[in-house]
Structure 1
Amino acid sequence: MRRWTKWTAWGLGGALLAGCGISDPADTPGRPARGATPVATGDGSSVDGGPQPQGWTPERLKAGEAPPQFVVLSWDGAGATDGTFARVRQAARLNGATMTFFLSGLYLLPERRRHLYRPPHRAAGASDLGVLTDRQIRDTVLNLGLAWREGDEIGTQFNGHYCGRSGVRTWTAADWKREIRQAVGFVGSWKTHTGFTDLPPLPFDYGTELVGGRTPCLGGGRTLRKAARQLGWKYDASGTGRQVWPRRNRGLWRLPVQTLPFPGRAAEVRGTDHDILRAQIPHGFYGSAHRRPHWRKEARAVLQAGFERAYRGNRAPLVLGNHFAHWNGGIHLEAVHELLTRNARRPDVRFVSFKQLVAWLELQDPAVLAALRALPVGKAPAKGWADYLSPAARPGPAHPDLPRTEPRKTG
């Protein structure tokens, strides 16, 4: 079986500019979209350069047409600490994919300004998430701008990464709105906070672009969703779900991380690198080196099994959560890369951001979405898509905003 190092796994090798994490010296993150006039916002940390460049335009399904197999690769934290951000971006470009990067607002706040963060129910500057060095903040700003220009979504994972019983699960909607305001403020004022006046501005207004996020450790979603609706967000990517078509509850799409089959085991596992790691190693982040080939094979098998179950079954969007982390020798990054390169060019497959998935869902006939949601996990229509989604064969229409019973949480 082919083995990759942490550099060659993403197909870039020495193509990166040394030390800066940018893949093309001609790229300028702050350059506006073609034909647009840049309009500075706030302190000049961002410019409104017009619509985001898109590599794919969602379309309404035709009668009897099979839905695409969507795959959403999302990255929590989204800080450029070691070049992985740039390598992930480049892999997406090479395979015609877009992704979602959930930025932690603290990653644009230097240590000397950490006290400006006022977390709910904690002292100023307190956080379970570390801050970045000045060089890492610079690289993060550059990568964020390039990612947006390449069609990727910049979402949020908020600021302080509070898990456990005393973490975000105890927050109110007001707490979440305070946290979100601060995240938007940190992204919109990075020049003031860092003093990096030589860097180009971000080519987007974060307050306008931000339409969804993922909570730390996937918790606290109930009160976040109340705040998200008040802020006009489109989706929430927190919590745990099954591989079924998503629903919209009172205007907000629920797009949780899904549980996937673990080949050779009875129990399923959440589709995140951290959860797969924990299924292999209960404690720590690095196991015995001689076991890594086996764990690498398992990690790849989990992701591919989840993809195949959807692709050959109900075509439910596959939602995965990842980190820019080289846990256990980087085998989980390798697994994501293999999933991308192995499947991106297959018929009817699209690797998209959450924002693009939501745009597609909102274009569809509610009766078609109701029919898709009626399909169980891994079950394709018995007589084929053409028969199942023909107007005469569809189940009766269901309102897309009806509440539903939450899936049993696992992992």
Structure 2
Amino acid sequence: MSVIFRAFTLACVSFSLTCPAFADESPAQRPQYVIISFDGAHELAQWQRSRSLAARTGARFTYFLSCVFLLSRENRNEYHAPGKSAGRSNVGFAQSKDEVRQRLAQIWLAHSEGHDIASHACGHFDGKDWTKADWLNEFSSFSRIVRDAYKINGIEGEPEGWKQFAETGISGFRVPYLSDGKALYSALSEKNFAYDASGISRGPAEPQMVDGMMRFALPQIPEGPQKRPIIAMDYNLFVRHSGGIERKDADGAFENRAYEAFRAAFDREYDGKRVPLGMGFHFTLMNGGAYWRALERFAGEVCVKADVKCVSYADYLADQRAAGKTQTGNVGG
């Protein structure tokens, strides 16, 4: 063991820090993790499309669900966001109870196939100024609406085990707008969330266990001719490529730029330290679906590799726990 590595290890022990999970493994000994997630989990066609991609590649995804999509306009007053009037949402609601029924079916299918259903709160409001009590109220709304979705909407055929899934099977969170803060983390801790995926890192970073909860970050990756860093998420690419104005990408330029950025970020880790690579997407197709096509090309190439694990956040955490590599630190929230 080198002097530098030994000193680093002693520092981790002395200061109760969480050391990188694979600090004692060479890249050849560890798999390359790729963690792909979807925010909002709204459009029915994208539920089906993402599940088909998973079936083709062996990947498992995390779906961050906004609970307002389990309410129709008829019963939208079931949701009351902190500081807002009842029935308000930044992203709307389902158009009908039949749409809710179909979405519930997709959620259950994805859960049954081993995907990770996680929370994206409800109304997609920016909670940077919310108090801990506000966040606890939002989490309670999410839990109640998901648990009682069939009853609230008068939909028959609730699967056996749905309520147990709603109460114990949703253990992860990503905050809207990646707008985190101390009040949020205090509320997450009180609600015993297993992980949070709201962070941003300068590049791929080892997830850290902080106060009993694993924290993941979406990395900034080089993109475009100048290789300027950008968060590895479709919306950020959309804003950079077209100023957030929808364009059809007729020549495939946006798709190719996104694919090349994803693949280059993967190759750097795969051929290097093999730090887990996280990537975020939405169910809204932007610039003619350029970023979903880039994702499908990327996943079709890398997720089928024997030493690559395209997994959900929950799967990654389970792997680390099984290997005894989730040492808890107390570096604060």
For the aligned pair, the TM-score class normalised by the smaller chain equals 0.7 to 0.9
Q: Which has the higher contact order (CA 8 A, sep 6+)?
A: 2
CA shift in 2, pair 1:223/1:309, >3 Å: farther
CA shift in 2, pair 1:84/1:125, >3 Å: same
What is the DSSP-based 3-state SS (H/G/I as helix, E as strand, rest coil) of the residue aligned with 1:141?
A: helix
CA shift in 2, pair 1:197/1:288, >3 Å: closer
Q: Is the Cα–Cα contact under 8 Å of residues 78 and 103 in structure 1 kept in the other structure?
A: yes
Could you tell me which of 89, 113, 116 is aligned with 1:153?
116
- Pair 1:68-2:31 in alignment: yes
d(CA) in 2 for partners of 1:159, 1:360: 29
2:261 paired residue number: 302
Could you tell me which of 179, 182, 186 is aligned with 1:219?
179
- Pair 1:347-2:310 in alignment: no
Q: Is the Cα–Cα contact under 8 Å of residues 263 and 305 in structure 1 kept in the other structure?
A: no
Give the helix-richer structure, 1 or 2.
2
d(CA) in 2 for partners of 1:221, 1:313: 32
Structure 2 residue runs without a partner (length 5+): 1-21
1:326 paired residue number: 285
Q: How far 1:283 sits from its partner (Å)?
A: 3.2
- Pair 1:253-2:210 in alignment: no
CA-to-aligned-CA distance 1:73-128 (integer Å, 9 cap, x gap): 1111112x341211111210221111101111111112111112111111111111
258-267 or 142-151, which deviates more = 258-267
CA-to-aligned-CA distance 1:115-148 (integer Å, 9 cap, x gap): 1211111111111111012232111111001001
Percent identity of equivalent pairs:
26
2:331 paired residue number: 403
Q: What one-letter code is carried by the residue in structure 1 that aligns with 2:216?
A: L
TM-score (norm 2): 0.86
What is the DSSP-based 3-state SS (H/G/I as helix, E as strand, rest coil) of the residue aligned with 2:228?
A: coil
CA shift in 2, pair 1:332/1:118, >3 Å: same
- Pair 1:106-2:68 in alignment: yes
CA shift in 2, pair 1:340/1:63, >3 Å: closer
What are the residue-to-residue correspondences of 1:359-370 with 2, within 5 Å?
A: 359-366=318-325
What are the residue-to-residue correspondences of 1:242-321 with 2, within 5 Å?
A: 242-284=203-245, 286-287=246-247, 289-290=249-250, 292-321=251-280
Q: Is the Cα–Cα contact under 8 Å of residues 221 and 238 in structure 1 kept in the other structure?
A: no
Could you tell me which of 95, 102, 127 is aligned with 2:57?
95
Q: Is the Cα–Cα contact under 8 Å of residues 44 and 103 in structure 2 kept in the other structure?
A: no
d(CA) in 2 for partners of 1:342, 1:63: 25
What are the residue-to-residue correspondences of 1:229-244 with 2, within 5 Å?
A: 229-241=189-201, 242-244=203-205
Q: What one-letter code is carried by the residue in structure 2 that aligns with 1:135?
A: D
CA shift in 2, pair 1:325/1:63, >3 Å: closer
What is the DSSP-based 3-state SS (H/G/I as helix, E as strand, rest coil) of the residue aligned with 1:169?
A: coil
Q: How far 1:362 sits from its partner (Å)?
A: 2.5
TM-score (norm 1): 0.70
Q: How far 1:346 sits from its partner (Å)?
A: 1.4
1:170 paired residue number: 129
Q: How far 1:168 sits from its partner (Å)?
A: 0.6
What are the residue-to-residue correspondences of 1:185-200 with 2, within 5 Å?
A: 185-198=144-157, 200=159
CA shift in 2, pair 1:289/1:247, >3 Å: closer
Q: What one-letter code is carried by the residue in structure 2 that aligns with 1:238?
A: S
Q: Is the Cα–Cα contact under 8 Å of residues 64 and 118 in structure 2 kept in the other structure?
A: yes
d(CA) in 2 for partners of 1:61, 1:229: 27
CA shift in 2, pair 1:400/1:310, >3 Å: farther
CA-to-aligned-CA distance 1:286-308 (integer Å, 9 cap, x gap): 12654x41111101111111211
Q: What one-letter code is carried by the residue in structure 2 that aligns with 1:94?
A: R
1:118 paired residue number: 80
Across the aligned residues of Structure 1 and Structure 2, the Cα RMSD in angstroms comes to: 2.2
Structure 1 residue runs without a partner (length 5+): 1-59, 370-398, 407-411
What are the residue-to-residue correspondences of 1:3-82 with 2, within 5 Å?
A: 66-79=29-42, 81-82=43-44
What is the DSSP-based 3-state SS (H/G/I as helix, E as strand, rest coil) of the residue aligned with 2:284?
A: coil
CA shift in 2, pair 1:130/1:201, >3 Å: farther
What is the DSSP-based 3-state SS (H/G/I as helix, E as strand, rest coil) of the residue aligned with 1:239?
A: strand
d(CA) in 1 for partners of 2:292, 2:75: 32
Q: What one-letter code is carried by the residue in structure 1 that aligns with 2:39?
A: D
Give the strand-richer structure, 1 or 2.
2
1:142 paired residue number: 105
Q: What one-letter code is carried by the residue in structure 1 that aligns with 2:119?
A: T
Q: Is the Cα–Cα contact under 8 Å of residues 99 and 153 in structure 1 kept in the other structure?
A: yes
Q: How many residues align?
A: 308
What is the DSSP-based 3-state SS (H/G/I as helix, E as strand, rest coil) of the residue aligned with 1:155?
A: strand
Q: How far 1:348 sits from its partner (Å)?
A: 1.1
